[in-house]
Amino acid sequence: MTSVRVAVRVRPLNKREKQLSSKVIIHMKEKTTTIQKPTVRGDELKGAGKTFSYDFSYDSFDRRSPTFASQEKIFRDLGFEVLKAGFEGYNACVIAYGQTGSGKSYTMMGPSVRSSINLHDKGLIPRICEGLFWEISHRSKSDAVMFHTEVSYLEICNERVQDLLKKRASPTDDGGLSVREHPRHGPYVENLSKHLVQSYSEVEGLIILGNAKRTTASRGVNDFSKRSHAIFTIMFTQVWCDAEPLYETVSKIHLVDLAGSEKVDPTRTVGGRLKESADINKSLVTLGHVISALADLGAGVSTTKQIFIPYRDSVLTWLLKDSLGGNSKTTMIATISPADVNYMETLNTLRFASQAKNIVNSPTVNDNGSMKVMRELQSEVTRLNQLLKEATQVGHEVPLSSVDVKEELNETKSLQAVALTKNRSSTWRETLNILQEETVTLRKEGSGVVLDCCLPHLIGVGEDLQSTGIALYYLKEGRTIIGKASCTQDIVLHGPGLLSVHCVLENIAGTVTLFPQDGALCLVNGSVVTDPCQLTQGAIIQLGKGATLWFNQPTASQLRLKYQSGLPSVFSPSVTDSSNSTENLSKAMVQNRWYKDAIKLTALVADECKPGLAKILTSAGSATNVN
Q: 103 catalytic, yes or no?
A: yes
Cα angle 185, 606, 434; round to 5: 30
Q: What share of the chain is helix, strand, coil (3-state, %, to 5)?
A: 35, 25, 40
Q: Which is nearer to ligand ADP, 100 or 507 (CB)?
A: 100
176: annotated active-site residue: no
Residue with the closest Cβ to ligand ADP?
A: 103
Spatial contact of 506 and 515, defined as CB atoms under 8 Å apart: yes
Instruction: Provide φ and ψ at 229, rounded to 5°.
Output: -100, 135
Identified catalytic residue from 79, 98, 101, 326: 101
- Report the alpha-carbon distance of residue 411 to residue 404 in Å, rounded: 11
Supply the minimum distance, in Å, between the C-beta of residue 208 and Mg ion: 16
Instruction: Find the shortest distance in angstroms from Cβ 71 to Mg ion.
Output: 15
Choose among Mg ion, ligand ADP, none what residue 112 binds, the Cβ cut-off being 5 to 8 Å by kind.
ligand ADP
- Whether 104 is a known active-site residue: answer yes
Helix (H) or strand (E) holding 395: none
Of 6 and 539, nearer to ligand ADP (C-beta) is 6
Q: Which stretch binds Mg ion (CB under 5 A): 96-104, 116-124, 144-152, 551-559?
A: 96-104
Kindly state whether residue 261 participates in binding Mg ion, applying the rule CB under 5 A.
no
Strand runs labelled E in 446-528: 448-453, 457-461, 470-474, 478-483, 491-492, 503-508, 511-516, 522-524, 527-528
* Dist. CA 564–CA 582, nearest whole Å: 11
E strand or H helix that includes residue 592: helix 587-608
Q: Which of 310, 191, 322, 311 is nearest to 251 (CA)?
A: 322
User: Minimum distance from CB of 225 to Mg ion (Å)?
Assistant: 3
Q: Please indicate whether residue 220 is annotated as part of the active site.
A: no
Residue among 58, 106, 311, 473 flagged as catalytic: 106
Among 423, 510, 436, 494, which residue's Cα sits nearest to residue 462? 494
Interface stretch with Mg ion, choices 3-11, 100-108, 147-155, 373-381 (CB under 5 A): 100-108
105 scored as a contact of Mg ion (CB under 5 A)? yes
Nearer Cβ to Mg ion (103/326): 103
Q: Is the CB of 225 or the CB of 277 nearer to ligand ADP?
A: 225
Write down the catalytic residue from 59, 163, 257, 340: 257
- How are beta strands 360-361 and 2-3 bridged, if at all? antiparallel
Q: Is 335 in the site for Mg ion (CB under 5 A)?
A: no
Which residue, 102 or 361, has its beta carbon nearer to ligand ADP?
Answer: 102
Is residue 69 within 8 Å of 54, Cβ to Cβ? no
Site residues (vs ligand ADP, CB under 6 A): 11-12, 14, 60, 98, 100-106, 111-112, 222, 225, 260, 335
Q: In the complex, what is the shortest distance from the CB of residue 132 to ligand ADP, in angstroms, rounded to a whole number?
A: 23
Residue of 348, 324, 319, 326 whose CA lies nearest to 52: 348
The closest alpha carbon to 350, from 335, 360, 339, 331, belongs to: 335
Q: Which of 23, 57, 58, 104 is catalytic?
A: 104
Active site residue 101: yes
Nearest approach, Cβ of residue 15 and ligand ADP (Å):
9
**Cis ω before 171 (30° cut-off from 0):** no
* CA separation for the pair 85, 264 (Å, rounded): 36
Q: Count how many Cα atoms sit within 13 Å of the Cα of residue 459 in the half-sphere of its side chain.
A: 15
Smallest gap, in angstroms, from Cβ of residue 70 to ligand ADP?
A: 9
- φ and ψ at 361, to 5 degrees? -105, 165
Around 538, how many Cα atoms within 13 Å sit in the side-chain half-sphere? Answer: 0
Catalytic residue among 103, 131, 460, 510: 103
What is the Cα–Cα distance from 182 to 184, expressed in whole angstroms?
5
The one of Mg ion, ligand ADP, none whose footprint includes residue 153, by CB under 5 to 8 A per kind, is none
* Residue 225 in the binding site for Mg ion (CB under 5 A): yes
Q: Would you say 60 or 283 has its CB closer to ligand ADP?
A: 60
Window of 101-109, 241-249, 275-283, 392-400 that interacts with Mg ion by CB under 5 A:
101-109
Tell me, rounded to whole angstroms, the distance of Cα 572 from its chain centroid: 27
Instruction: Please state the closest distance from residue 219 (CB atom) to ligand ADP, in A.
Output: 12
Report the nearest approach of ligand ADP to the CB of residue 355 (Å). Answer: 19
Q: Give 112 or 530: the residue with its C-beta nearer to ligand ADP.
A: 112
Q: Which residues contact 536 (CB under 8 A, 6 or more apart)?
A: 551, 553
Residue 586 contacts by C-beta under 8 Å, 6 or more apart in sequence?
A: none
496 touches which of Mg ion, ligand ADP, none (CB within 5 to 8 A by kind)?
none
CB of 114 to ligand ADP, least distance (A): 12
Distance in angstroms (rounded) separating the CA atoms of residues 621 and 183: 10
User: Cα–Cα distance between 32 and 94 in angstroms, integer?
Assistant: 20
Q: How far apart are alpha carbons 411 and 417 in whole angstroms?
A: 10
Strand partners, 34: 27, 51
Residues that contact Mg ion, how many (by CB under 5 A): 3
User: Does the protein bind Mg ion through residue 102 (CB under 5 A)?
Assistant: no
Choice between 340 and 345, CB closer to ligand ADP? 345
Q: Which does 12 bind (CB under 5 to 8 A by kind): ligand ADP, Mg ion, none?
A: ligand ADP
Nearer to ligand ADP, 225 or 342 (CB): 225
Instruction: Tell me how far, at minimum, the Cβ of 153 lies from ligand ADP, in Å.
Output: 16
Q: Is 116 a catalytic residue?
A: no
- Cα 76 to Cα 69, 83, 123, distances in angstroms: 11, 10, 11
The entry of Mg ion, ligand ADP, none that residue 102 binds, CB within 5 to 8 Å by partner kind: ligand ADP
At 356 the three-state DSSP class reads: helix
List the single partner that 254 binds among ligand ADP, Mg ion, none, CB under 5 to 8 Å by kind.
none
Which is nearer to ligand ADP, 111 or 310 (by Cβ)? 111
Q: Which does 3 bind (CB under 5 to 8 A by kind): ligand ADP, Mg ion, none?
A: none
Residue of 22, 60, 102, 105 marked active site: 105
**Footprint of Mg ion (CB under 5 A):** 104-105, 225
Would you please indicate which residues are annotated as catalytic (active-site) residues?
101, 103-106, 257, 260
